[in-house]
Amino acid sequence: MEYQKRLMKTKQRMAADGIDVLLVTDPANMNYLSGYDAWSFYVHQLLIVMIDEEQPYWIGRGLDANAARHTSWLDEDHILPYADHYVQSTIRHPMDFVSDFLKERKRDKQVIAMELDAYYFTAKSYLKLANNLLDSKFKDGTNLVNWIRIIKSDQEIAYIKKAAQISEKAMGVAYEALNEGVRESDVVAEISHAQISGTEEFGGDYPSIVPLIPTGEKTSACHLTWTDDVFKAGDPVIIELSGCYQRYHSPLARTAVVGSPSEEMRHLGDVVVEGVNSALDVVKPGITCEEVELAWRNSIERNGIKKESRIGYSVGLNYPPDWGEHTASLRPGDRTVLEPNMTFHMIPTIDIGHAGMEISESFRVTETGFEKLNNFPQELYVKPNIRLA
């Protein structure tokens, strides 16, 4: 069973790090180890992995216990709901419940690791555990499970490839909807519909990041969402999105221009396409992340552009607010060695102050090189200017 293999690898890493108990609060890691999948991460929830027990324990709000029963492989003895009076209370906290459970299981004098830099593990959660478990030794378990996730199983690759098909459909819909006089919000509405409806064969899930669509001079700020402004002739538009299937992503970014692009934008598009492909050409097992980035940097510097920054990251299973895995990055200094079935989103962004350019590729490392996951034209897209009545 795949979940048991994942749990075994987690325990091996725990043993190597001297960890007896791991508190897993990252929703993606909870899903990875148990299958648990619900929009419940706005309240405190976690898995507790004990190195000498066969199943982890799910602890969460009582209202969400049935979601654990429906989506996880855990048996009833390992689904532990807390009462609703713990939710957003000023006199008690869910980590009080967790602490009591650990004491009952005689785990309060052991080495306990927590995902200290996970989005949904709060400072108050740590303080509660520290105050309640005075005899425990705490360790940082941040990204312990993430590094196991970095190499995908064949089933995970299949999910990512389905997400890629949805990405392609959504980007095509964006191109079709984009036009002078159309509101940004209306284009994003079409994208979102395509992301959720998916293909005729399979539907989509909600992505971890909403569509990003900075326009005009705002393309130099790559993480802007939409407004109700309308597109104007000559506007460059960055479109970054991802399909999502079973919580797996295959992000895709492209830059379009409504009407005629400037020569500067055409040149920038050519530079980015050349740089992306130069970087992809060196991808193979045994190459380091920093070597991939260096190929990109050498390419753009030949074209008169200097930029030293991350150009990509490991990607796959995740929940809002991010589809990245928070492990390997394609950047100077990252000596992570590429291995087969690692998956990355390569998204080198260039901005020149008054405009920006994104043309990205998600890829899988294969036994001999790489496989592009998205099959979409790799170019600056020029949308013919059709005035709306």
Cα(204)–Cα(192) distance, integer angstroms: 10
Cα(348)–Cα(240) distance, integer angstroms: 12
| Residue 317 per-residue DSSP state | B
Q: Which residues of the chain have pLDDT under 70?
A: 385-389
pLDDT recorded at residue 386: 54
Q: Are strands 248-258 and 312-315 parallel, antiparallel or unpaired?
A: unpaired
Cα(260)–Cα(233) distance, integer angstroms: 8
Cα(130)–Cα(133) distance, integer angstroms: 5
Among 359, 325, 340, 323, CA closest to 283:
340
Count of CB atoms situated within 10 Å of the CB of 40: 17
Cα(273)–Cα(359) distance, integer angstroms: 7
pLDDT in tens, 93-150: 999 999 999 999 999 999 999 999 999 999 999 999 999 999 999 999 999 999 999 9
Q: Six-digit token pair at 188?
A: 């994003």
pLDDT in tens, 152-182: 999 999 999 999 999 999 999 999 999 999 9
pLDDT recorded at residue 385: 62
pLDDT recorded at residue 354: 80
Cα(170)–Cα(190) distance, integer angstroms: 8
Residue ranges covered by each domain of the chain: 2-149, 154-383
Count of CB atoms situated within 10 Å of the CB of 105: 14
What superfamily in CATH does domain 2-149 come from? Answer: Creatinase/prolidase N-terminal domain (3.40.350.10)
CATH assignment of 154-383? 3.90.230.10
